Structure 1
Amino acid sequence: MNWSAKLIKHNGEDRIAVSFEKDAALIARIKKLDGSKWSQQLRVWHLPDTEVYRKQFGLALREESMPSTEGAEGILKFKRYLQSKRYSESTIKTYSEALKSFLVFYRLKDLSEIDNDDVIRYNNDYILKNRLSSSYQNQIVNAIKLFFKITQNRLIDIEKIHRPKRAKVLPNVLSKEEVKKILEAHSNLKHKTMLSLIYSCGLRCGELLALQPVHIDSKRNIVLLKNSKGKKDRIAPLSPKILNMLREYFIAYKPKVYLFEGQVEGKPYDSRSLQMVLKQALVKAQIGKPVTLHWLRHSYATHLLESGTDLRYIQELLGHNSSKTTEIYTHVSTKSIQQIKSPFDDL
């Protein structure tokens, strides 16, 4: 489709004007973008002037939104170090993006001049001022600490930097009845099998999509999870019910490389498409909760605990490094709580 984009001033605001020949599909797409508006006067659609939209429509980024040349070179060096240490792509992206915002904030300052006070000032004047999350604050502190150690060969004194208290958020858990409704919502065998395998083995989304047929050991009734979070391999038991479903799925779809492949043969199923599969199941099951794929993993762990499985085994099954991570499920298990009688009943 032919379209063009340019920067404009509209009612005193910086906007991005997008022009194209009338096309219903393109109009529907641009309507979904946050802040999009139609100008009857200019006869164009226009959007807020943001970095995201500038990248999306191929426009030059603002100079003030870029780190200095020294900072940009430092980020590249930092990325190469993380890659050589075999950090995951998601960690490299998270650290690099967090670090970029810090170096943009101090783009007029030499890296050798940045110290602890600058990190504290960034924390107060950028993170807190913009009400960014405590997890983001921790990520940037971790990224800065590692960055200066690698690229400047000096330490930022992490103890002097205020770290936020971690919010004690309980995992979201579904009832067994709700899980059953979700897993039975789809008639499509592939969709049903993917969601069922996540719940039946407590898998992360990435672990499911990385599975290959050779990882399913039907003789030992186990699935081998290779190189999962923390660069660890682990095994999870396969129930006879899910094994039968996998056999039926394999005969029907005959995957070549990955157990669950997308439209391109030999390529893994797309994570965003899998999220859409779940959303469609929620609609069909008439469940209004904001359920994510990770809720199925949380529900698996909690249901195991409620059925009497030892916490140490659950830790192994989920691949947690620390038992403290697994212990959080004791706070959402209702087995003991439901047996407590309220004094209200005696009134």
Structure 2
Amino acid sequence: MGELRDRMAMEMELRGFVPGTQKAYLRAVSNLARHFNLSPDKVDSEQIKAYVLFLIRDRNLAGSTINVIIGALRFFYQEVLNMPELALSIPPRKTSKRLPEVFSKKELDRLFNVTKNQKHRLLLKAAYSGGLRISEAVRLEIADIDSGRMMIRVRQGKGRKDRYTLLSSVLLQELRDYFRACRPKKWLFPSQITGRPVDRATAHKVFMKAANLAGIRKKVSFHSLRHSFATHLLEAGVDLRTIQVLLGHSSISTTSIYLHIARFNISKGSEQVDLLNSQTL
């Protein structure tokens, strides 16, 4: 794409798009150009519609994934090429609402127990007990662990927002053992090769390997740890508004999906719950 790529990157940076969104949007436009072997400014509305149908029928992509691609194409044609009529010719796709999969406590125990690498096991435990997204878990710094307040600071989460979430006392003790053994300098979970934080692809592979070894047959992903955090807190009596804040959701309607998953058969108050401590559940 050359010059067009640079222009698109500049427009996204001016609007404060996070790096992950910028990368996804650039990839979407690049894939369109590659599909037709044309510069994207030479593609017409009928070709764009045909490409979206190809993604639906042949690639069988999820509706949410297709909507990201459509968002990228609309941004490119409207904001970069100033062709709003072409942007408006790409309709968003309706997505089905599916309830997320959630781990049971026994499944979580198996997941953690089969992960023999200490750093990888603690990465999974931190994600679950703090309700962290994969991008947030891999970029934790040692300074983010606030043992005085028993909180974890999440820096620049989704929407570039900072927040605090729960620090499990069980996790804290295991992190202290890990720190004494491995002595990480800045990043809590550094890559042994680069010294930078472990990347998302590695974290995903760690999770999928553990899920396979643990014999978990549900359709789960790393994000299922976050879903389980929210659901288990709700089941433990924590109110929805508090869970919304811990997750960093802008709207409580996003958090309310867990009302459809939680089993309300546990009578506890709303005191702080340590999800890694089995005595609290």
TM-score normalised to structure 2 length: 0.82
In the TM superposition, 1:1-347 aligns within 5 A as 72-104=2-34, 111=41, 114-115=44-45, 119-124=48-53, 126-133=54-61, 134-156=63-85, 161-264=90-193, 266-335=195-264
User: Could you tell me whether the CA contact under 8 Å between 1:256 and 1:265 is conserved in 2?
Assistant: no
Distance 1:158 1:334, change over 3 A: farther
Paired with 1:196 and 1:113, the residues of 2 have a C-alpha distance of 47
Paired with 1:139 and 1:291, the residues of 2 have a C-alpha distance of 21
Once the 2 structures are TM-superposed, how far is the Cα of residue 207 of structure 1 from its aligned partner? 0.7
Q: Kindly indicate whether structure 1 or structure 2 has the higher relative contact order, using CA contacts under 8 Å at least 6 residues apart.
A: 2
Mean alpha-carbon deviation: is it higher for 216-225 or for 322-331?
Answer: 322-331
Once the 2 structures are TM-superposed, how far is the Cα of residue 120 of structure 1 from its aligned partner? 3.6
Paired with 2:28 and 2:199, the residues of 1 have a C-alpha distance of 25
User: Could you tell me whether the CA contact under 8 Å between 1:112 and 1:152 is conserved in 2?
Assistant: no
Extract unaligned runs of 5+ from structure 1. 1-70, 337-347
Once the 2 structures are TM-superposed, how far is the Cα of residue 318 of structure 1 from its aligned partner? 0.8
The aligned residue for residue 62 of structure 1 is none
Mean alpha-carbon deviation: is it higher for 170-179 or for 81-90?
Answer: 81-90
Deviations 1:219-270 (CA, angstroms, capped at 9, x unpaired): 1111111111111100012122221121121111110120111213632123
User: Could you tell me whether the CA contact under 8 Å between 1:145 and 1:156 is conserved in 2?
Assistant: no
Distance 1:215 1:72, change over 3 A: same
Distance 1:317 1:310, change over 3 A: same
The structure with the largest alpha-carbon Rg is 1
User: Could you tell me whether the CA contact under 8 Å between 2:78 and 2:84 is conserved in 1?
Assistant: yes
Paired with 2:220 and 2:94, the residues of 1 have a C-alpha distance of 26
Once the 2 structures are TM-superposed, how far is the Cα of residue 284 of structure 1 from its aligned partner? 4.3
Paired with 1:289 and 1:110, the residues of 2 have a C-alpha distance of 40
Paired with 1:104 and 1:279, the residues of 2 have a C-alpha distance of 31
Secondary structure, aligned partner of 2:162: strand
For 1:220, give the aligned amino acid: R
Secondary structure, aligned partner of 2:184: coil
Identity across the alignment (%): 35
User: Could you tell me whether the CA contact under 8 Å between 1:202 and 1:296 is conserved in 2?
Assistant: yes
Extract unaligned runs of 5+ from structure 2. 266-281
The aligned residue for residue 269 of structure 2 is none
Paired with 2:249 and 2:95, the residues of 1 have a C-alpha distance of 18
Once the 2 structures are TM-superposed, how far is the Cα of residue 181 of structure 1 from its aligned partner? 1.9
Distance 1:232 1:193, change over 3 A: same
Paired with 1:122 and 1:265, the residues of 2 have a C-alpha distance of 38
Paired with 1:227 and 1:160, the residues of 2 have a C-alpha distance of 34
The aligned residue for residue 21 of structure 1 is none
User: Could you tell me whether the CA contact under 8 Å between 2:74 and 2:90 is conserved in 1?
Assistant: no
Paired with 1:216 and 1:131, the residues of 2 have a C-alpha distance of 42
Secondary structure, aligned partner of 1:156: helix
User: Could you tell me whether the CA contact under 8 Å between 2:101 and 2:218 is conserved in 1?
Assistant: no
For 1:335, give the aligned amino acid: F
For 1:76, give the aligned amino acid: D
Deviations 1:70-108 (CA, angstroms, capped at 9, x unpaired): x54323311232234442332122111211233445666
For 1:313, give the aligned amino acid: T
Once the 2 structures are TM-superposed, how far is the Cα of residue 321 of structure 1 from its aligned partner? 1.6
Paired with 1:278 and 1:112, the residues of 2 have a C-alpha distance of 42
Paired with 2:205 and 2:41, the residues of 1 have a C-alpha distance of 43
The aligned residue for residue 35 of structure 1 is none
Paired with 2:153 and 2:112, the residues of 1 have a C-alpha distance of 22
RMSD: 2.6
Secondary structure, aligned partner of 2:263: coil
Paired with 2:100 and 2:114, the residues of 1 have a C-alpha distance of 23
Paired with 1:104 and 1:141, the residues of 2 have a C-alpha distance of 16
Aligned length: 264
